[in-house]
Amino acid sequence: MSAAIVGIGELTPVRYSENKTTLSLIAESVAAALKDAGLQKDDIDGLLVGPQVGETPQHVPATVAEYLGIAPAMANTVDLGGATGAGMVWRAAAAIQMGMCETVVCVLANKHEKGHVPTSPNRNPIREFDVPFGASGANTSYALLKRLHMEKYGSKQEDFAEIAYWARKNAQLNPKAMFHGQPLSVQEVLASPMISDPLRLFEIVMPVAGGAAVIVTSEEKAIRGQHLPVFLKGAGEKITHRAVSQAPDTLPFSYSIPHALDQAKMKIEDIDLLSLYDCYTSVVATTLESTGLCAPGEFGDFIQNHTFGHDGDFPLNTHGGQLGFGQADLAGGMSHVIEAVVQLRGEAGSRQIPDAWHALVTGNGATLSETTALVLGGTP
Amino acid sequence: MTHLQNISLPGPTITPITKPFWEHLKKGVIMLQRCNTCEEWIFYPRAHCPHCFSESLRWEQASGRGVLKTWSIVHRPGNAAWKPLAPYVVGVVELKEGPSMLSHILTDHSNLAYQQEVEIDLITAGNQPLPFFKVCEEELN
């Protein structure tokens, strides 16, 4: 690997956006990342964007490039749901190694307007074979996977609630987080309204408006940057299914995480920060089981017997995770990349992990369908 | 569930490939695709076998029985049309033939159990019978 993250830009999440477009939030995020990197707009010669931004269903990279006023030599849409952010980082590195470009901006943003109901012209198999039976939306799909875990392994609601507790606790040290100033007890999680049994409200991310961008560049350019570069050490990705009914009976990250660690020539014990995608508590549970830190079905014992703050045994989602930070649609996944960069630069302030050299970042799209893992490393 | 008749629910978005599945249900039978090359059963309907990529498939009557792999009691439906019926149960049924399908489970919430045997219960919403499932009669005694 010879590419590094040299710039990060992240908007402060807001519950609802006003007078914004997705394109304007993209531009704000890119400007923040360029400023952080100490680079100019014209340094960007690669662009990775999410799908259907700015209400344009097609030609998204060209629409975004034109709006930004750049002319990239490599441009692509990455469409992996919550795994998009992490998936962009290794794709940027791959394009750089291929010699197509040297400096890639990876950007995701979401406007979230009050009362806005997205309409979908969906005619895929989920629309045909799930929706007519009463299953619409992610909450029910994830509830089905959580119930399966509880039945198969005997995992308890208290164990899942612990994950929401730690996310909110960590968010108290991140002023940008949506739930900064609002800690949560395990009892409050267990008493929150049932949405799709067995998932309760406080186990589910809050949709917000926001945006995030990272800039990936060559090693040669990275070492001349104004921050310590954060290198991509390894990556792994696997797409297994789309609909929850077609999910395999394997741990979701059983390919992606070992692949990323192998590429980095590391073991899970070498990781200082677990920056694990957390759209729901249950996703963190199965991701922890995929890391090998605990056996399948045993995340409960693990979560009850360790601490997960910046000063804990296993620092986990020190920015509050998306459960504490808020989920600006696909940009939510990028928050796990950005926190890893902040920690590995040593710029995390009151939530800085001592001696943070390596981070494991995960992204998850659809219903544990699209899984991406990255190992990021700081500058020794 | 007769009150289903009075609510406009989003029906299936039928394609030329899946049409036989829905047409057979109108005749009261559940037919699934089966591969002529590897003999695996297939759901949802496709133009090819997802196991061996053969394009030689046939329609064959299925048992309409399976086990409940997982379920959720939906309190806040993602689709507004379902709100009057909440809380209701959706589940993933692992069919005897092998494939899994998502469905609506018609049962008392206290009857729900992992790996419980379920059978098809055709329910008509709009003009289209839908393969809902219920707990097998013998299991309830």
* Contact yes or no for A144 and B90 at CB 8 A: yes
Please tell me the predicted confidence (pLDDT) of residue B2: 43
Find, in chain B, the residue whose alpha carbon is nearest to that of A118: B79
> What ipTM is given for this predicted complex?
0.92
Report residue A370: phi and psi, to 5°.
Answer: -115, 110
* Contact yes or no for B69 and A128 at CB 8 A: no
Which residue out of B3, B51, B68, B102 would a mutagenesis test of the A interface target, given it has the greatest number of A Cβ atoms within 10 Å?
B102
* Contact yes or no for B76 and A131 at CB 8 A: no
Report residue A365: phi and psi, to 5°.
Answer: -120, 160
B5–A contact, CB cutoff 8 A: no
A235 pLDDT above the threshold of 60: yes
Structural contact between residues B59 and B113, judged by C-beta atoms closer than 8 angstroms: no
Mean pLDDT of A346-357: 97
Joined tokens for residue A374: 């990255």
User: Across the interface, which of B11, B78, B128 has its CB nearest the CB of A140?
Assistant: B78
Please tell me the predicted confidence (pLDDT) of residue A324: 98
Q: What would the pLDDT profile of A171-215 be if each residue is shown by its tens digit? A: 999 999 999 999 999 999 999 999 999 999 999 999 999 999 999
User: Across the interface, which of B85, B102, B128 has its CB nearest the CB of A129?
Assistant: B102
Using 50, 70 and 90 to split pLDDT, how confident is the model at A352?
Answer: very high
Q: Return the CA Rg of chain A.
A: 19
Please tell me the predicted confidence (pLDDT) of residue B127: 84
Closest CA to B90 of A11, A219, A147: A147
Burial A352-380 (b: 16+ CB within 10 A, else e): bbeebbbbbbbbbbbbbbbbbbbbbbbee
CB neighbourhood size of B53 (10 A): 10
Residue A213 DSSP label = E
Please tell me the predicted confidence (pLDDT) of residue A340: 98
Place of tokens 């206290």: B110
Please tell me the predicted confidence (pLDDT) of residue A121: 67
Mean pLDDT of B21-43: 97
3-class DSSP string for A149-201: HHHHHCCCHHHHHHHHHHHHHHHCCCCCCCCCCCCCCHHHHHHCCEEEECEEH
Q: What would the pLDDT profile of B84-109 be if each residue is shown by its tens digit? A: 999 999 999 999 999 999 999 999 88
Q: What would the pLDDT profile of A102-115 be if each residue is shown by its tens digit? A: 999 999 999 988 88
A123 pLDDT above the threshold of 90: no
Structural contact between residues B117 and B135, judged by C-beta atoms closer than 8 angstroms: yes
CB neighbourhood size of A117 (10 A): 6
How close B141 comes to chain A (CA, Å)? Answer: 23
B47–A contact, CB cutoff 8 A: no
* Contact yes or no for B104 and A243 at CB 8 A: no
Report residue A20: phi and psi, to 5°.
Answer: -125, 155
How close A291 comes to chain B (CA, Å)? Answer: 24
* Contact yes or no for A194 and B75 at CB 8 A: yes
Chain A environment of B87 (Cβ under 8 Å): 197
* Contact yes or no for A197 and B132 at CB 8 A: no
Percent of chain A, pLDDT > 70? Answer: 98
A116 pLDDT above the threshold of 90: no
User: Across the interface, which of A133, A135, A144 has its CB nearest the CB of B130?
Assistant: A133
Mean pLDDT of A347-358: 97
Q: What would the pLDDT profile of A266-287 be if each residue is shown by its tens digit? A: 999 999 999 999 999 999 999 9
Q: What would the pLDDT profile of A292-320 be if each residue is shown by its tens digit? A: 999 999 999 999 999 999 999 999 999 99
- Specify the pTM: 0.95
Which residue out of A120, A157, A245, A249 would a mutagenesis test of the B interface target, given it has the greatest number of B Cβ atoms within 10 Å?
A245
Find, in chain B, the residue whose alpha carbon is nearest to that of A143: B72
The CA dihedral of A293, A353, A333, A10, to the nearest 10 degrees, is: 180
* Contact yes or no for A244 and B102 at CB 8 A: yes
Give residue limits of the domains in chain A: 3-112+205-377
* Contact yes or no for A197 and B75 at CB 8 A: yes
* Contact yes or no for B102 and A127 at CB 8 A: no
Which residue out of A128, A131, A133, A241 would a mutagenesis test of the B interface target, given it has the greatest number of B Cβ atoms within 10 Å?
A133
Chain A environment of B75 (Cβ under 8 Å): 193-197
B5 pLDDT above the threshold of 80: no
Chain B environment of A280 (Cβ under 8 Å): none
Q: In the structure, how many helices (H) and strands (E) does chain B have?
A: 2, 8
Mean pLDDT of A14-19: 93
Joined tokens for residue B58: 């046939």
CB neighbourhood size of A226 (10 A): 11
CATH 3.40.47.10 fits A3-112+205-377, yes or no: yes
Q: Quick check: bond before B87 cis, omega within 30?
A: yes
Structural contact between residues B116 and B133, judged by C-beta atoms closer than 8 angstroms: no
Q: What would the pLDDT profile of A18-32 be if each residue is shown by its tens digit? A: 988 899 999 999 999
Using 50, 70 and 90 to split pLDDT, how confident is the model at B6?
Answer: low
B17–A contact, CB cutoff 8 A: no
What is the rounded distance in angstroms from the CA atom of residue A300 to the CA atom of residue A304? Answer: 6
CB neighbourhood size of B6 (10 A): 7
Mean pLDDT of A227-237: 98
CB neighbourhood size of A297 (10 A): 17
Render A230-280 in DSSP notation, one character per residue. Answer: EEEEEEEEEE--SSGGG--SS-TTTTHHHHHHHHTT--GGG-SEEE---SB
Mean pLDDT of A50-75: 90
